Structure 1
Amino acid sequence: MVIVGAGHTGAQAAIALRAEGFEGHVVLTGDEEAPPYNRPPLSKSFLKSTSDAVSVAVRPEGFWAEQDITLQLGRRSVAIDRTARKIALDDGSELDFDRLVLAMGSRPRTIPTAPGIATLRTTKDALRVRSVLRPGARVILVGAGYIGLEVAAAACEAGAEVTVVEAAPDILRRTLSGATARYLQTAHERAGARFLLGSAPRTIRPTGVEMGSGENVEGDVVVLGIGVQPNVELAENAGLAVLDGVVVDEHLRTSDPNIFAIGDCARFPCAVTGRPVRLESVQNGTDQARHVARTLAGEATAPYRSVPYFWTEQHGHKVMIAGVSAPDDDVQVRGNLEDDSFSVFRHDAEGRLTAVESVNAPHDHVAARRTLGGRT
């Protein structure tokens, strides 16, 4: 068994295989030198701490050998020979496989005309950003998605002067209702962050941006958070079906029955929405890793039907989302925004509940996951 991608999702697949009693050879390969680690803390607690990279490790160093899981780190997979069932690595070596799991994740979108701009994906990225988070530092975030806003919150808490630049007229436009997004923006503004919305930067430099209006915003660091793109090139070059992610069926199999894909790189049929989606969340990666492990160990025959959920914490406000909504879904707010505890219920055109956004309301979140799960 070979797992390509030694991030959180790939590591969870290897761990789950052993937990399910799989006794065959397990190889976990990835292009980073570091053993598998958790990425979500990099934009949250890790930025606000003095911890080293070991603190975000998925498991202690000796765990992998104890579980007889072979780590092939610092090696990039460059080609899949589906007929011979071999994977070529960039050092010239090859790995044989009976079954292959692709957990290649995603990478930050960059701007070709703006080299050297900080992004946040690896521990090295996080250490670079953390090194400038100090009182009086001028931090510019380009992109008002979850990563950018979590970095903005950490920077404000460190005493930095924070400016968030976003081309769209609202923050988190693709993923949250207007009510929840405005609530979070207000929380950031109360903490001192400045927002420049509805205007794309004309030029971006490592220490500043020039807005379309002509305004220059100078900083000590610029962090780019304009989304990610799935790592699908390996699958595409191998002739697997790809469409904004590696296309898989309800069992997470690709167009080759011997190859599975999970996590950020996989586009799968979502039981909640009834349509194919690609999700970027730890929960999704973990649930899919466990499902694939049960399938490969011969324990699972049912399709993958987990309810997606996600959370973010910014300035002490915890937002938890169950389900997947569309931008035009109906919005119903229950609770009072002024009480700092409310939920937003999203329904599609047919009146079906698609998602619930809960702000400092964990009971609503649990109930929403139970309700959505009862339909899948």
Structure 2
Amino acid sequence: MKRVAVVGASLAGVRAAQELRAQGYDGGVVLIGDEPHLPYDRPPLSKAFLAGTASAASLELLDAGDLASLALDFRLGVRATALEPAARRVLLSDGGSVHADGVIIATGGRARTLPGFEDAYPLRTIDDALALRAALVPGVRVVIVGAGFIGAEVASTCRSLGLDVVVLEALPAPLAPVLGPELAAVCARLHAEHGTDLRCGVRVEGMSAAGVHLADGSLVPADVVVTGVGMTPATEWLAGSGLKVGNGVCVDAGLVTELPSVVAVGDVARYGGRRHEHWTNASEQAPVAVANLLAGRTSRTYTPSGYVWSDQYSGTLQLAGHPRPGDALTFVDGDPSSSSFVAVWERDGSTVGVFALNNAKLFNRLRRPLRLPAAV
């Protein structure tokens, strides 16, 4: 294998490029990214970077030493438009192409849009964050559609800037499908304690210069509207490639597609019937995917840890494992009304998930023996 093309220059793509070198691959590595920026970290975009307390340089994933040692061939500011496996070629939006004996798909996705919200601010890229940051001037009224992790973090940042914030959520409680009703109520409490107007169980219809229009005919006044309603995996460029796609790139337990010379990592990889849109997942997949790419077969399997964290207001929320509805939830330190607690989910006598608010020490101790699912 003389050359590997890594399509996608965010965390998953960078970790894959680093892992290629760590596993002894000394051939050419081309890193293709549709943004013109060098690879950067995304979690601070909704927090310190949006607040203006972190610089763009502090987000960079590769320092000067990394750039020298990895010897990457960067193709930035261009999109992959097609994959031609038989020709071992990736076509690019600038009319060029890259010959590759192996391909690592790490294209992630785009911020999902809602009909009628074309003028809202998404938050997926550093350019999105810069545009939103410029709009957050003193006195503006902010409405955020979606109370997931991104929505909650943006709300927290806006409140730290002294802005009035309304969060609109279709679910009866924020993050209820992930956390269950009792812990979702804790997230709702954080919003209330910090002056955010959280409105759950509401449906939005669209927006205008006056604000956000709800399905019941009411209007929520807004000067700035932000949508945080998930992402759409970037797979259109794979049409005609022969790869199976459907809400992501379908891969086996080793993150390998139907073609042994093509693997997928990060938010775009769909395995076990689902995608995992978490920072940790994007980072942890690289060693397995690269090992299988270099071996030319699935020799290793990947087991997701399910770890995710979110900084919201004065709280750091941490979750690990794979709890399901019906698992027994027990508070092992503190209670849901306190500012610091730890809870666990149990199933068939084993701990299958851990959640903590402002208690990283106990959380880390309890997550080590978690019973994780069999490799997907």
TM-score with structure 2 setting the length? 0.91
Within 5 Å, which residues of 2 pair with 1:1-376? 1-60=4-63, 63-205=66-208, 208-269=211-272, 276-297=273-294, 301-334=299-332, 335-348=334-347, 350=348, 352-372=350-370
CA distance in 1, matches of 2:237, 2:326: 34
Q: Is the 8 A contact 1:307 1:373 kept in 2?
A: no
Aligned partners of 1:180, 1:144: CA distance in 2, in Å?
14
* Structure 2 equivalent of residue 272 of structure 1: none
- Structure 1 pair 181/123, CA: closer, same or farther in 2 (3 Å)? same
Rounded to whole Å, the distance in 2 between the matches of 1:205 and 1:184 is 29
SS in 2 for 1:339: coil
Report if aligned partners of 2:322, 2:372 keep a CA contact under 8 Å in 1: no
Give the distance between the partners of 2:104 and 2:257, measured in 1 at CA.
Answer: 10
The 2-side partners of 1:347 and 1:234 are apart by 42
Counterpart secondary structure, 2:324: coil
CA gap of 1:239–1:326, structure 2 versus 1, over 3 A, is farther
3-state SS of 2:75 partner: strand
Q: Which amino acid aligns with 2:362?
A: D
* Superposition CA RMSD, Å: 2.2
Quote the Cα distance in structure 2 between the aligned partners of 1:368 and 1:268.
26
1:296 CA drift (Å): 4.0
Cα distance between partner residues in 2 of 1:232 and 1:177 = 31
Q: In 1, distance between residues paired with 2:286 and 2:209?
A: 37
CA distance in 1 between counterparts of 2:73 and 2:260 reads: 24
Pairwise CA distance, 1:255: 1.3
1:37-66 CA-partner distances (Å, limit 9, x unpaired): 111110122112244422211113574244
Question: Is 1:324–1:355's contact at 8 Å kept on the other side of the alignment?
Answer: yes
Indicate if the aligned counterparts of 1:180 and 1:344 stay in contact, CA closer than 8 A.
Answer: no
Structure 2, gaps ≥5 residues long: none
The alpha-carbon deviation at position 247 of structure 1 amounts to 1.2
CA distance, structure 2, for counterparts of residue 323 and residue 165 of structure 1: 28
Deviations 1:244-291 (A, max 9, x none): 22111121101111100011001123xxxxxx4310011100011132
Could you tell me how far 1:213 is from its partner in structure 2? 2.5
Query: AA paired with 2:285?
Result: Q
Deviation at 1:330, TM superposition (A): 3.5
Count residues with an aligned counterpart.
369
User: Secondary structure in 2 aligned to 1:151?
Assistant: helix
Which residue in the other structure is 1:273 paired with? none
Shift of 1:115: 1.5
Q: Distance in 2 between matches of 1:372 and 1:231?
A: 32
